[in-house]
A and B are shown apart, each in its own frame.
Chain A
């Protein structure tokens, strides 16, 4: 093998199993790429090369001993720094949790280690997963490995909040990475960097040990270079967890084994409300291409209506901050993390100083919005109303899925934008989530797959949204697009 870091999850797993190379060789190859990309890409907050090698050694030893190998055996991965990892700093890219080292391991990461994966390090993200460009991280923004073909070399956003994950996977720093998706945080960065990423049905993956942003929306998922790799990794991550009351008590299907790009007899819905006025022409064109590919795969394509789509974004930006304002109350300087105790300060002063220093501007903004919409006198007008609209949005999907099996839409309204381009205007930044937020509000499985490059040489993604629990339908349609799009582009290494 010339370059092990060109391999994906399935190829590494199979190669290790067959003895084409050792897991330690794989881990060391990726460790080298991780080290070489720091600090240029800034994708990792902490690298853990020794963890990757240690896990790999165990896999090699198990193989030598003839033991059965796990679903992810020998695959080193990046772990979004929102997952608690025992003995390894877990920050949510915030100052308030800087230096926090948990004594516990999140359910999802533990499942991955149990399946034979190893950890290359903790990936950068938007602070507390709040952002669409990775610019809200306390540890500096991730820089996308992609550049426009205009020769300007403007640093681009890798998307957010799972921007460390997307950058690392597309730059071959890891074959796959965990992500979390609250309003699009797996799909939009996947689209921006030309990789695949799936957010499963709400409840598929345990939230236990994931730093909470918005509990009713947060969902972990997998990010990798193709659909099969996403399926393999998601199988290892998913499953009922009695420690999470909202966890789905359902068996995990064999998604990889069930993959089929033959869509004969399936119906694909094209939601007319997603055709926005002034839509980016290249995004619209890639959507048309996606429709053609799915037809080619045997699917019947029909127009559908999701009438409450236009209310999804405001609904999301009420519910998510409301939950966040409460979820983040625990970061108070009393028990762990940052404590700023000015001379002679009382409890209230300590709270104020700690939070002022510990939370970034975007996090503060969302706490303020959330506190406002829950406050007496505004609760009904905002929170109650938003919950009603959320129900209507779910109903839209339910009605649509009465006649179609999967929905096709763009993942994001544009290709990756430049760092700093939207950070001055939060509303413009929030608009980036316009296509991803409805599926989050309805708790539906959704994924982004690469569809091609735009005229600037930047990746565009297509989004597939499925029925509750039908990750298989989403993966199958994603695979059909993947096979026809023939996306083989990768960022040219400049770091």
Chain B
């Protein structure tokens, strides 16, 4: 089972405590970028429904991703212009792989 870790400094309300911390402690949260549209699930790209340079509105369908026996519509979470299409039809994608980038 987990052994004794080294003591680290932990700031709670500006008091610094010396204590053990979990391994996940250094993985700090960073804000997601809505313009980087990533696969929320691994699957296969069935059809790309947009082109580079296309101006899209929020909710426009960008591509169809086959996963969990479902055709999932991947839509633009925000309005923008399609800058990069990182995948093509038939391609297998991993979870969190970049699909489309908007500008």
Q: Do A and B come from one complex?
A: no
Q: Which residues of A are interface residues toward B (Cβ below 8 A)?
A: none
Q: Which residues of B are interface residues toward A (Cβ below 8 A)?
A: none
